[in-house]
Structure 1
Amino acid sequence: MSDTADLDEPLHEPRLWRDNGWTAQVIKNEDDEGWAVAMFKAGESEPALVGPWTMGRDKKNPKPLDTAAFNTLVKTASEVIRRHEQQLHAQLNKALYVARDGNWIKVTLEIVPAEDDPYAWLAAFDAAGEPLAKVKVGANFRFNQSAAEAWVDNAFERPAGRD
């Protein structure tokens, strides 16, 4: 490609389709005699999805890409990305509830996966969602029910030795 603007232009070839921010590339499956298709989201170097691809009528070459197949691949790859993002969010964001004096307090831990110095925010919210406290803790902070209760009981003071 001579120009980066070319990467935004739709391309519809039998083994390479690019459209709407996605690229589908049919590749030789090195593990066997079949074919695979790799789906790349624009700007990403790693494929979001790699899966088997159908053989053509001659049983040697891959079936050419078409609009219906490309749209199905985009939908599937988008779902894979969405699930990955949900899983990552769940790993980085946790919440527990502590009951005190007849009130529920939501205690959250939000891990910030900074490359050089990861950390986390320990926060508390009242039943209406209003913030009560927020402190910075180490990304390795052991977040469990007893830790949340201890933090609430210690008037939201930053947990000792947790940087």
Structure 2
Amino acid sequence: MHEPRLWKDKGWTARVIKNDDDEGWAVAMFKEGEPEPALVGPWTMGRDKKNPKPLDVNAFNTLIKTASEVIRRHEQQLHAQLNKSLMVSTDDADYKILLKIIPDEDDPYAYLIAEDAAGEQIAQVKVSPHYKLNRNNALTWIENAFRRPE
């Protein structure tokens, strides 16, 4: 579907809409199957200064690229919020300590994981999703033989 105010192609839909904030126009980009737009931004007025400029293939492709980048950045930010790690050295060994948060709607939780220098997992315990991963807590966990923190 390629209409002046509505394009559907390549798993995306671009819809030119009236901008409620002012007298201009906006464009909303929806990824197929998603209820909320991935991107909403201002849209150019047409030559008559009343109606929006019609969508075209170049604008649509640019919108897809921009909306895809917004989604990618959002996914990276979410991953960083849910996955933390740090390196800890003791007299005996070097460890990578990871905290992986599982954002379950009803009962969120997290896993505290220890890996050795070769990347082999040597311990895993379930902890609160609010567990604070820092150097002191990691060292205490190691010193307590990887028992579940209280």
Q: Same fold (TM over 0.5)?
A: yes
Deviation at 1:101, TM superposition (A): 2.4
* Inter-partner Cα distance in structure 1 for 2:144 and 2:132: 16
Picking from 89, 93, 97, the partner of 2:83 is: 93
Runs of 4+ in structure 1 over 3 Å off:
none
Query: TM-score under structure 2 normalisation?
Result: 0.98
* Inter-partner Cα distance in structure 2 for 1:87 and 1:72: 23
> In 2 relative to 1, CA 13–46 (structure 1 residues): closer, same or farther, beyond 3 Å?
same
CA shift digits 1:92-136 (9 cap, x unpaired)? 000011101253200000000000000000000011100110000
* Inter-partner Cα distance in structure 2 for 1:103 and 1:94: 20
Matched residue SS, 1:56:
coil
* Inter-partner Cα distance in structure 1 for 2:95 and 2:131: 19
Tell me, which stretches of 5 or more residues in structure 1 are unaligned?
1-10
1:137 aligns with 2:132: no
Q: Which amino acid aligns with 1:65?
A: L
Q: Residues 14-163 of structure 1 correspond to what in structure 2 (within 5 A)?
A: 14-101=4-91, 103-160=93-150
Cα RMSD over matched residues?
0.8
> In 2 relative to 1, CA 102–154 (structure 1 residues): closer, same or farther, beyond 3 Å?
closer
Matched residue SS, 1:150:
helix
Q: Which amino acid aligns with 1:129?
A: G
* Inter-partner Cα distance in structure 2 for 1:131 and 1:101: 19
Deviation at 1:73, TM superposition (A): 0.2
* Inter-partner Cα distance in structure 2 for 1:115 and 1:135: 20
Deviation at 1:142, TM superposition (A): 1.7
Percent identity over the alignment is 71
